Amino acid sequence: MLTKRIIPCLDIKDGRTVKGTNFINLRDAGDPVELGAIYARQGADELVFLDITATVDERKTLIDLVRNVAHAVNIPFTVGGGISSKADVSALLNAGADKVSINSSAVRNPDLINELALEFGSQCVVVAIDTRYVDGEHIVHTHGGRKPTELRTLAWAKEVENRGAGEILLTSMDTDGTKAGFALELTAQVSGAANIPVIASGGAGSMDHFVDVFTTGKADAGLAASIFHFKEIDIPALKGYLQTKGIEMRMTL
């Protein structure tokens, strides 16, 4: 049985880690280099770094900060924000990223997914899907959740897989930061429709929420931010708890 993954997320704004609720009301959560190092030591399976205003500010991801985080961690490291070309990906991989996450640029130019998968391999390409429930439909949003699109979430998830994405990072904007639990029905639908791993994001507030997302939600990985940043849940304790619930985890010594 494949082990499930626990992934802390560093949302970056102006070089600092921030966290909000439903993608707004951001508050400072600390230094990303320090946090990344802590999570690596605690046994996090991977780390995700999202420069959440890069697309809105029409600039590239903070390469120097990526390099500093990469030096501080020894676990797979995914970087997203402002990525729109093969050159952007090359720069990030050279700075120490293991994978890249694309969202707005993939919606704007879906062929980019094919190009990156062909150039760097599907294992390197994560497509982030930020979705909100609007008028009875799960709708894909871009630009850090600011812009709704015409895309339906389930259909887009299938398309990105067909185009060569290696993973989907699925964030429910409706549950994000609420600590009320992951969007289980949506996660299960996407996990069932896609044959690539699905990382569930948005809503983690307790250890049982991770149990739910791995069982009912059928996710391959659970991503969270504030509960880790503000020391509400300890990663080793979380993994130990999940194991007692029969969920296979990679445990560190």
Beta strands in 97-234 (DSSP E): 99-102, 125-134, 137-142, 147-152, 167-172, 198-201, 221-224
List beta partners, residue 21: 24
- The yes-or-no answer on residue 212 being catalytic is no
Query: For the segment 7-66, what is each residue's pLDDT rounded down to a tens digit?
Result: 999 888 877 777 655 545 566 667 889 999 999 999 999 999 988 666 566 556 688 889
pLDDT of residue 145: 75
- Of the residues 130, 176, 212, 220, only one is catalytic, namely 130
pLDDT of residue 81: 87
pLDDT of residue 227: 92
Residue 82 belongs to a domain = yes
Query: For the segment 233-248, what is each residue's pLDDT rounded down to a tens digit?
Result: 999 999 999 999 999 9
What does the block give as tokens for 71? 């030096």
Give the predicted TM-score (pTM) of the model: 0.92
CATH assignment at residue 126 = 3.20.20.70
pLDDT of residue 125: 98
Residue 216 belongs to a domain = yes
Residue 253 belongs to a domain = no
Residue 15 belongs to a domain = yes
Residue 251 belongs to a domain = no
User: Percent of the chain at pLDDT above 70?
Assistant: 91
The SS3 call for residue 100 is strand
User: Percent of the chain at pLDDT above 90?
Assistant: 75
Residue 250 belongs to a domain = no
Residue 13 belongs to a domain = yes
pLDDT of residue 176: 86
Beta strands in 14-91 (DSSP E): 16-21, 24-30, 47-51, 77-80
Length of the chain counted residue by residue: 253
Query: Domain count of the chain?
Result: 1
- The yes-or-no answer on residue 130 being catalytic is yes
Residue 158 belongs to a domain = yes
Average pLDDT of the segment spanning 176-182: 90
Domain residue limits at 180: 5-244
